[in-house]
Chains A and B, each alone.
Chain A
């Protein structure tokens, strides 16, 4: 019986040129990251420092949140706390209705994806326009992002040309990236000017100064937060870091790990609202304090959402982000799903990994991702199938007698196990592979025979 993610991958990212293109595009990001990491002699030291900074911040999160709230309010912002996704949606909706805002420009935020903010606003008649190019593409295509920093990486240039032709009246058959970007830009410019409010995420929040840090390559967050009067920033509580010195370390790692850039095109530090403007910061828990209380898994909250673990993951590159079935795909998504997402499928996501360990090796804040996947597997609820498989397995491998019996049975049944039929426990293996040839006698039998022959 194969897992849901496997079937969705087969359906959503079918084998063929689309799959190869996805794998190549994502691997290219990894290659850029590798080159940037090698070009920075301090890279390993920075990773160590970043790990310590984030661990310290998580250890003192309560104090840092209070400090951030005080500093941000001193700078003229209003700070709100939301316990879960529903509360975030309610708070944002209230802020928008109080201001009479009907048109909202958004810059990319994985948190609002996690909390389902867009559909909720649209249900209340508010027009929400995503302004990050990739995010705009998936919005026009009515689908969620498939990657945390490259939301439309699963789409080909031809796809996007056809989509823009339909939605933005770009010239038929045009697949030139520069002209397509120009078409999106023309459409977005008017929407920026007409917007009543901006919603953004934030990459970091600095407790000492009450500053929000926005990292983009398109400047869309800057335009969005400069034009409308109202700015609502939504971020997870784990985004708070103590001071600007800590930020300096994390920023040197973020863009290098994400895209291989030494720093992104725009890194904006916003402290308080602009002249005549209004700034609201919504800090969201949504399962994070529960995770914080779990010593084995809390370090996953250190994630700075660079996407490096996705790019290096052989499974993510062959599955595509949509196959994971929730906002965060790849290794970090699998590690956070059991804590932050609901439902039985979330608890099974940690199984969708070969445990190759490359994710742990690239993580800029040194989260032990693949070890956490192993730990989550032990914590996952187990159905009768899993329980019986483990019991039978332990019977077959856990004692000398069981091992001998199982070995004999296996040898006898081997020809049958190689055949494809629905009830075959090895059906998954046989879907695309042959079984190893009939093994004949075991190593132990041959080794014993050899020893007997050697005796005088």
Chain B
């Protein structure tokens, strides 16, 4: 690898079901400004912008990076738009890191976001193509059969999902940016919540959120001048087929 790379700034927005106080551009800018402040740099220090989100139908804008680029200080700079489905937040960071690791740019801003309140996620995930049945099941409908299959084959206890949900919601109470804040969360509360996609209950799923996260990545030379750089030692990605 040519260049050692570090994350030197991060910024998140407050997450909520509806951020009607900001446009999509306002949302991504809120995260980006916080990341720049954290990295102690300004818009003009950024060499390239990487924008990640998936899928476009969650907001109803085709290739929204084209209209968001200006709000992210990307005018007359290189801009890449990453879309790798559910993994897009992570792969946006991977692409941004690559640009520094390859020695092409010194300082890259990456931002991933979703503003699901501007469209309808279940509609967006309902594929209605010729010669196929439109399932209208949302994300959980695709994953539930896999979860059920895993539970059957592995024989794992049926309260694992419940425990995970409670643990995450308790942790979220310590996170000022978290969307869901359920102060009195208990295993019973999760168990008694409505079954959405058997075996996944309402409180075992993530919420549909409006929110964005941004990072600034730099070369070793610039990173050593920053407070607590987080070094990127390695990144890896693998993809499998949807169906077997």
Instruction: Answer yes or no: are A and B bound together in one complex.
Output: no
